[in-house]
Amino acid sequence: MVSWADVLRWDPAPAQNAVGTINGEYLKLVAASDELRTVSSVDGWSGPAADAALGRVTELVDGAEELAAELGATRRAFGDIGDAITGVVNGREELLGLAKKRNFAIAPDGSVVDLGPPEGTAPEQAEAVAADRRQLAVELADRVAQVVRQAEDIDADGCAVLDRVLAGTTIDATGNDNAQTGLAAFGDAGFTVGGLSILSPPPDGATVTQNAAWWAALSPSQQRRLIHDLPELVGNRDGVEGWARSEANLAMVGKQRTSLQNARTDLERQLAELTNGPGHQNSRNVLRTEITKINDKLAGLDSVDRMMLDPRTGQPRPDRQLLSLDMGGDRPKAAVASGDIDKAQHVGIFTPGMNSNVQDNLPGYVNDMNEVRAYANTLAGDLPEGNSVAMVTWLGYEPPTTRLEDLDGLVTGAPAEEGGSKLARFGEGINAARPDDPHLTALGHSYGSTTTGIALGQSHGVDDAVFFGSPGISPGHNPVFHPSELNVPEGHTYNLSAEGDAVADAVPHSGRYGPHVSEMPGVNQLSTSPVGPMIGSQGHSEYAVGDGRLATSEHNLAAIVSGHPEVAVSR
């Protein structure tokens, strides 16, 4: 067992330095390979003495071959151990830095010690602050557990390799043709079996903090191997850094396309085999429906390519991140960022609403949000490498459409509730993946505002919330009457309702999605009217349009996202 106290002492240098020493001994041994091959076959000598001598030589050569394998395995093991420990040290230091920043300490036994809330905490905030700190203590404990889990995995794997070396069971060289095989081949074989495994991710249902701690405790080379070999374990894992999720999801596009094309071919074969006539009409309809769904998903992947790849080079765009890619369910789902969510001081997460899909709408939404990002960057003050603002367009759920089969989702709000849970976890994952605390804004339009409101009732870490064109921000069976019921700081909830927006004007009166947010006490109402050079917005779909013209509504969205609400225009 490895303890937290052990982890505090871990240093990759001894293992890394040992590699050079072991390699030197290995090279000396391999240099004798030709001589050993010559000794193992002496021409012109026969008889009992020759047989005895040859038997002894064979034992020596077999021993040298096994030693070469053992040195190869040991060299690889110490290299992998040193590399893996760099991940443990990174996870450890990130954890200790986070604890210190929040006024916690990690005791030598790994327990989390709360050193007290920030000085000057107002009495009326004491209970809320205490609840937040209890949650943070749990998250820190999760991080300790993941770092120790990684250390235990390294210890177990390394000991397994060294135990085989000590037992002389790395490779059995007896029976080998000593006249044909060189020592380098055995060294290579030992090198192969001496490698350490990569710690598997936390199980399904793990928290975003557990995912973040697992990822942080992997070395950079281990992270790269996972992205290359098993991208499906990384791409949609909330709590993993954005750059890694994007690379993994981009690697999955081709795999998903091939899988869908194969599935479509199989369905088309089944359809072709059905005989004509009324007896198979239902089966034909079912198959055609499934083929249509696959075609939509393939169109969604084509849309992802257009958003993510530079049309001139075919290479991934450096200013975009593909943060999720899900071909399950009835429709494709994805999340695309403009900017770098790992570095940006301000991160906005925009959730669109009804009739939105990856294949038709997502590219336009990304373009619209990129324009908001440009305005927000100007307000925030451009930082080096453009790290002021990142905007995520999140379509990680299946909003209802105006089709008859989606009527139930419109009535019950079930898609918003399912999507809200996913959105809450997604936002928490962005925070968990970073050692600092970015300014995080949740933005929801139309049915997406309902989804966002539900997410805010479940998640923590959002600093500002903006609803626009909203039919309501909660399910009718559990209505929200005041923004204090959301996990957003007091005074940091905003709403925009444009003139002529029937969804924002009429739907709230039904109570299906809670009360009218444009009349809700405690919500800051922002303008959509023309102001100076800024144009006004009309109807339901003009709040943010990437057409190069600055609308008052876009200015207001950018003001909140950039952390400058003082320049927002009130209604």
Mind listing the pLDDT tens digit for each residue in 184-243? 777 778 777 788 999 999 998 899 999 999 999 999 999 999 999 999 999 999 999 999
Number of other residues whose CB lies within 10 A of the CB of residue 135: 12
Query: What's the pLDDT band for 40 if we cut at 50, 70, 90?
Result: low
* Domain boundary, last residue among 201, 227, 253: 227
User: Are residues 218 and 319 located together in one domain of the fold?
Assistant: no
Q: Determine the distance from the C-alpha atom of residue 530 to the mean position of all C-alpha atoms in its chain, rounded to a whole number.
A: 40
Note whether residue 283 is domain-resident. Answer: no
User: Are residues 204 and 331 located together in one domain of the fold?
Assistant: no
- Give the C-alpha separation, 252 to 322, whole Å: 11
Structure-block tokens of residue 518: 């444009």
Instruction: Select the more confidently predicted residue: 130 or 529.
Output: 529
Using the Cα atoms of residue 481, residue 484, residue 485 and residue 489 in order, give the sign of their dihedral: positive
User: Are residues 351 and 206 located together in one domain of the fold?
Assistant: no
pLDDT score, position 121? 79
Which region among 80-89, 176-185, 294-303 has the lowest average model confidence (pLDDT)?
Answer: 176-185
pTM surpassing 0.85? yes
User: Are residues 199 and 321 located together in one domain of the fold?
Assistant: no
Which region among 38-47, 90-99, 265-274 has the lowest average model confidence (pLDDT)?
Answer: 38-47
pLDDT score, position 532? 94
* Domain boundary, last residue among 171, 200, 227: 227
User: Are residues 396 and 506 located together in one domain of the fold?
Assistant: yes
Going by C-alpha positions, the residue among 295, 390, 300, 394 that lies closest to residue 345 is 390
Note whether residue 310 is domain-resident. Answer: no
* Domain boundary, last residue among 197, 227, 257: 227
> Residue 271 above 80 pLDDT?
yes
Single-letter amino acid code for the residue at 121:
T
- Give the C-alpha separation, 270 to 200, whole Å: 38
Task: Give yes or no for a contact between 530 and 552, defined as CB atoms under 8 angstroms apart.
Answer: yes
Note whether residue 515 is domain-resident. Answer: yes
Note whether residue 270 is domain-resident. Answer: no
User: Are residues 507 and 371 located together in one domain of the fold?
Assistant: yes
Note whether residue 248 is domain-resident. Answer: no
User: Are residues 33 and 170 located together in one domain of the fold?
Assistant: yes
What mean pLDDT is reported for the chain?
A: 90
Instruction: Select the more confidently predicted residue: 454 or 182.
Output: 454
Query: What's the pLDDT band for 47 if we cut at 50, 70, 90?
Result: low
| Alpha helices, DSSP H, located in 274-332 | 281-308
Query: What's the pLDDT band for 386 if we cut at 50, 70, 90?
Result: low
Note whether residue 110 is domain-resident. Answer: yes
pLDDT score, position 68? 79
pLDDT score, position 392? 99
- The stretch 473-491 carries a mean pLDDT of 93
What order of strands is seen across the sheet that includes strand 346-351? 320-326, 333-338, 389-395, 346-351, 439-445, 464-468, 493-496, 524-526
Which region among 37-51, 176-190, 433-447 has the lowest average model confidence (pLDDT)?
Answer: 37-51
Domain with residue 436: its CATH number is 3.40.50.1820
User: Are residues 485 and 360 located together in one domain of the fold?
Assistant: yes
User: Are residues 356 and 481 located together in one domain of the fold?
Assistant: yes
pLDDT in tens, 124-164: 778 888 888 999 999 999 999 999 999 999 999 999 988 88
Task: Give yes or no for a contact between 400 and 417, defined as CB atoms under 8 angstroms apart.
Answer: no
Residue with tokens 């791409």: 235
pLDDT in tens, 284-296: 999 999 999 999 9
- Give the C-alpha separation, 115 to 267, whole Å: 62
> Residue 46 above 70 pLDDT?
no
Note whether residue 521 is domain-resident. Answer: yes
Structure-block tokens of residue 222: 């281990």
- The stretch 424-446 carries a mean pLDDT of 96
User: Are residues 319 and 219 located together in one domain of the fold?
Assistant: no
Q: How many domains does the chain have?
A: 2
pLDDT score, position 122? 78
pLDDT score, position 192? 77
> Residue 61 above 80 pLDDT?
no
pLDDT score, position 556? 98
Note whether residue 539 is domain-resident. Answer: yes
How would you classify the pairing of strands 493-496 and 524-526? parallel
pLDDT score, position 210? 96
Task: State what percent of residues in the chain have pLDDT above 90.
Answer: 71
> Residue 465 above 90 pLDDT?
yes
**Containing domain of residue 481, as a range?**
315-567
Query: What's the pLDDT band for 42 if we cut at 50, 70, 90?
Result: low
- Give the C-alpha separation, 541 to 48, whole Å: 97
Task: Give yes or no for a contact between 548 and 372, defined as CB atoms under 8 angstroms apart.
Answer: no
User: Are residues 320 and 195 located together in one domain of the fold?
Assistant: no
pLDDT score, position 304? 98
User: Are residues 323 and 221 located together in one domain of the fold?
Assistant: no
